[in-house]
Copies of this chain bind each other. A is one copy, B any other.
Amino acid sequence: MVHDMTATKVSGGTGETTADVREWRELLARHADLTCALDRALQAGHSLGMSEYEVLERLAELPEHSAKVATIAKSVHLSQSALSRVIGRLETAGLVERHMCPEDRRAVNVRLTDEGLHRQQEAQPTQRDVLAQRLHAPLVKSCDPLA
Contact = CB atoms under 8 A, between A and B. Distances in A.
Interface string A1-34: 0000000001110110110110110011111101
Interface of A is mostly: helix
Q: How large is the interface on A (under 10, 10 to 19, 20 to 34, 35 or more residues)?
A: 35 or more
Interface string A115-144: 000000100110110011001000001111
B21 A131 contact: yes
A36 to B, nearest CB: 9
When all copies of this chain in the complex are counted, the total is: 2
A146 interface: yes
A86 interface: no
B142 A74 contact: yes
